[in-house]
Amino acid sequence: MRFLHLSDLHLGKRVNGCSLLEEQADILQKILVIIDTEKPQAIFIAGDIYDVAVPPVEAIKLFDWFLMALWEREKEVFVISGNHDSGGRLSFANGVLSREGIYFQTICTREFRPITLTDEYGPINIYLLPFCKPVQVKQLFPEVEIHSYDEAVAFLVQKMSLQERERNILLAHQFIVGASTSDSEELNIGGLDGISVEHFLDFDYVALGHLHRPQKLAQLEYIRYSGTPLKYSFSECGQDKVVVIGELGQKGDLKLKLIPLIPKRDMRVLRGSFQELIKVENYRGTAVDDYLSIILTDEVEIPECLGKLRQIYPNIMQLSYEKILQRETLLRPLQKGQRKNPLSFVKEFYKLQNGLEVSAEQRSFLAELIDEIWQDKE
């Protein structure tokens, strides 16, 4: 069986006040082209369909169009809810859709019955685990002691009672400990929502959603995040967005390939002085209509800078002055209880003035000099 794994569409998302709905419609169309080329039988969408629990009408219409396009191609579609979704709203018409091969699991239940597909090698059991919090699991199973996300997911996976000789696939939307994160994600402080990868080892493939960087877990090819189809923060500028195509043969035989997704507009960071940036020839590798974060290296603010730059780069999302920000940070009074040693101040001032880090030799000399000054004061 061939399948396509994607997640975290975040339809309706706005970044720095800019709607990305046009880019989202474009990337979904490109995913349909990949589906027509690769011909997967099943489509796995691992949560965060929308960016907010009550999405705008345009986002709902876009997902409706995408589902209809998948139905017309006679694909089996499996969808779970993420932490951004409203499980109750997303499950609308689930009973009718399941008769057409479109399966939604948006709310945790006491029973986990897989949807079973078959191919020439026998049954493939597909389990759907939507995003859930410990309190929700405790409400379903008041007789069980559940104190953490990890305990909740471990208990739910155990309830699935896998058929070990058959092939089993899981869709889940959780944060797995050890995975790499991005600025555009919502995670609990201190990793309280972290789940151990060990709970998923017995599956033949685990289609994860929640984290925006495509990656495998614990060097295991069969447990992975597909990541977002688009970049949703400038911390993701260095990432290549992909969809995962898998081919599951007999048990233990899994082949995967990652197909790049090319956005209509990319997200980039440009850094330089105002005079450098207005010379477009300095940035030939950058499409001028990309979404940009511009970091100016000028010492002082440039009058009407944003308006002038937007005549060249119409989709600037962020504008900041690197050296002014560094200076303000350096001069900002310390909060009560904060302390900085003199060497830290000198190192920051040196970098501000010279744009370079203090070398090991310079640091050693400064430390000795500061010690001598302090001894003289005593």
Over residues 167-222, the pLDDT tens digits come to 999 999 999 998 888 777 776 655 578 899 999 999 999 999 999 999 999 899 99
Give the DSSP letter string of 43-107: EEEES--BSSSS--HHHHHHHHHHHHHHHHTT-EEEEE--TTS-HHHHTTTHHHHHTTTEEEE-S
> What is the pLDDT at residue 334?
52
Mean pLDDT calculated for residue range 153-168: 94
For residue 378, what pLDDT band results from cuts at 50, 70 and 90? very low
> What is the pLDDT at residue 346?
76
Q: Can you give the pTM of this predicted structure?
A: 0.82
pLDDT > 70: what percent of the chain? 89
C-alpha atoms less than 13 angstroms from C-alpha of 290 in its C-beta half-sphere: 20
Residue 333 in this model has a pLDDT that exceeds 80: no
What gap in Å lies between CA 40 and CA 100, rounded to an integer?
17
pLDDT in tens, 107-145: 888 888 999 999 999 999 999 999 999 999 999 999 999
For residue 338, what pLDDT band results from cuts at 50, 70 and 90? low
Query: For the chain, give me the number of helices (H) and strands (E)?
Result: 11, 19
For residue 36, what pLDDT band results from cuts at 50, 70 and 90? very high
> What is the pLDDT at residue 340?
57
Task: Let me know the angle formed at the C-alpha of 94 by 90 and 96, rounded to the nearest 5 degrees.
Answer: 145
> What is the pLDDT at residue 208?
97
Mean pLDDT over the full length of the chain: 88
Is residue 266 within 8 A of residue 291, CB to CB? The reply is yes
Residue with more model confidence, 88 or 336: 88
> What is the pLDDT at residue 327?
59
> What is the pLDDT at residue 310?
92
Residue located via tokens 């105002």: 274
pLDDT in tens, 261-311: 999 999 999 999 999 998 877 776 667 889 999 999 998 899 999 999 999
Highest mean pLDDT of the ranges 259-273, 322-336, 343-357: 259-273
Mean pLDDT calculated for residue range 329-350: 61
Mean pLDDT lowest for which of 77-81, 226-230, 319-323, 369-373?
369-373
Q: Which residues, in sequence order, are bridge partners of residue 170?
A: 127, 206
Residue 60 in this model has a pLDDT that exceeds 60: yes
Residue spans of beta strands (DSSP E) within the chain: 2-6, 14-15, 18-19, 42-46, 76-80, 102-105, 115-119, 122-129, 167-173, 175-176, 194-195, 205-209, 215-217, 220-225, 242-248, 254-260, 267-272, 291-296, 316-321
> What is the pLDDT at residue 111?
86
> What is the pLDDT at residue 191?
58
